[in-house]
Amino acid sequence: MSVDRTKALEGDELEFAVQVTSRMGTVEAAFLLDPLPGVDVVDQPPTVLVAAGTTVSTRGRVRCRRWGIHKIGSGRIVARDIASTFVYQQAAESATAVKVYPRPERLRSLLRPHALRPRFGSLVSRAAGAGLEFADIREFQPGDQRRHINWKATARHRRIHVNLFHPEWSSDIVILLDTFSDVAGDEVSSLDLTVRAATSAAIACIGRRDRIGLLVVGREINWLLPGLGTRQLYQIVDSVMQTRLAFTYSWPTTDAIPKRVIPAGALVIALTPLIDRRMPAILGDLLSRGHDIAVVEISAPAVLPPPSNQREDLARRLWALHREAQRHRLRQIGLAVSAWKPGQSFQMPLMELQRFRRTSRRVNG
């Protein structure tokens, strides 16, 4: 068996081909694909007539419903003679691994870091230099280019004046994933939302020409150093897809994180359900080191179905108080938290965080 491609996005349809060989007489053969979690069968391969000593190909289609690594191809072949006197079944185990990526959300804008790097990018710097967006006018100085001369200002002041522009620079972004805990509902889990948010943010960063890195905090601390380009994007997404819940009682510290993982001036986008009390402590430690941090809370209660009785309702209320205490700890140290719920655009919490960051920066001077 073979599949037309080994990489796809959620919702894509794949075509697979099955080769059937008869070593005896002429038979009617059908291939029945086993059901797979995350993959739906669109068309089972039709029944084919296979003569003795020949090989016939038949094709079917599947739809990738959920991200992950799926092995497509396990099933059984049912063959019968022309008179349907004898029926023969054989298991087919020649499965092909297909990597299905989360379908990313197209983000109109991403968070703007407080510090930019003097590398070519898409973020307009507040500094003056070579760029496209107009900044100011000043008198001509040796080394200025003639094409930047402002002829109206030159005629008005009777001295040569040139236009200044804001250069377009880039930034360093590090996505921090909290794998201490997970809340699973009937159709989605908080870890699933975390993976989708990280994928969308990574694609937006690469499109903005930013360097992007990954930091996974849980039983162990794993990371990918910030990098550029499509190759870095695939490494980030592959690492995010392999993220699993890491239950542990240990208390990891940021001392284990090499300094080059979070460069100076980098923006850390933390994706966390705010369930485990160790996560606010880690974020506070990173903030004390001078890092720029924005927290997106993956709303775990929104993943669960409504409470079915008073006992569950009381437990949810106590849990809500615990989560509010976690948010309060973060606000006390100067971090803003914006919640993201299932069915909501990931752009909304990012816009809320950006408004807070812009306001707080203006207040702080």
Last residue of a domain, one of 85, 101, 117: 101
Mean pLDDT of 188-207: 87
Residue 247, pLDDT > 60, answer: no
Residue 315 lies in a domain: yes
Residue 196, pLDDT > 50, answer: yes
- Domain tally, the chain: 3
Residue 234 lies in a domain: yes
Last residue of a domain, one of 166, 181, 212: 166
Residue 264 lies in a domain: yes
Residue 13, domain extent: 2-101
Q: Strand 267-272 relative to strand 292-298: parallel, antiparallel, unpaired? A: parallel
Residue 302 lies in a domain: yes
Note whether 151 and 250 are same-domain residues: no
Q: What is the mean pLDDT of the chain?
A: 82
Note whether 353 and 230 are same-domain residues: yes
- The alpha carbon dihedral of 127, 128, 132, 137 has a sign of positive
Note whether 69 and 140 are same-domain residues: no
Largest pairwise CA distance in the chain:
105
State the pLDDT confidence band at 130, using cuts at 50, 70 and 90: low
Long-range contacts of 26-30 (CB under 8 A, 24+ apart): 26/50, 26/51, 26/52, 26/81, 26/82, 27/79, 27/80, 27/81, 27/82, 27/88, 28/79, 28/80, 28/81, 28/82, 29/56, 29/58, 29/77, 29/78, 29/79, 30/77, 30/78, 30/79
Residue 118 lies in a domain: no
Mean pLDDT of 263-269: 88
Give tens-digit pLDDT for 79-91: 888 777 788 888 8
Residue 132 lies in a domain: yes
Note whether 159 and 183 are same-domain residues: no
* Residue written as token pair 């491609």: 5
Residue 255, pLDDT > 70, answer: no
84: tokens are: 């349907």
Q: Dihedral, CA atoms, 151, 154, 159, 160, nearest 10 degrees?
A: -30
Residue 147 lies in a domain: yes
Note whether 55 and 133 are same-domain residues: no
Residue type, 306: P
pLDDT number for residue 118: 66
315: tokens are: 């437990």
Give tens-digit pLDDT for 47-85: 888 888 888 888 889 999 888 888 888 888 888 887 777
Give percent of the chain with pLDDT exceeding 70. 90
pLDDT number for residue 365: 44
d(CA 338, CA 108) in angstroms, rounded, equals 18
Give the CATH number, domain containing residue 210: 3.40.50
Residue 6 lies in a domain: yes
Note whether 202 and 304 are same-domain residues: yes
Last residue of a domain, one of 112, 137, 166: 166
Note whether 46 and 162 are same-domain residues: no
DSSP state of 22: -
pLDDT number for residue 124: 64
State the pLDDT confidence band at 132, using cuts at 50, 70 and 90: low
pLDDT number for residue 213: 92
The answer to whether the CB of 212 falls within 8 A of the CB of 240 is no
Note whether 94 and 142 are same-domain residues: no
What distances in angstroms separate CA 359 from CA 126, 190, 349, 356, one per listed residue?
17, 29, 15, 5
Beta strands in 129-181 (DSSP E): 133-139, 161-166, 168-170, 172-178
What pTM was computed for the model?
A: 0.76
Note whether 26 and 138 are same-domain residues: no
pLDDT number for residue 362: 43
Order of strands across the sheet with 7-9?
Answer: 7-9, 96-101, 68-72
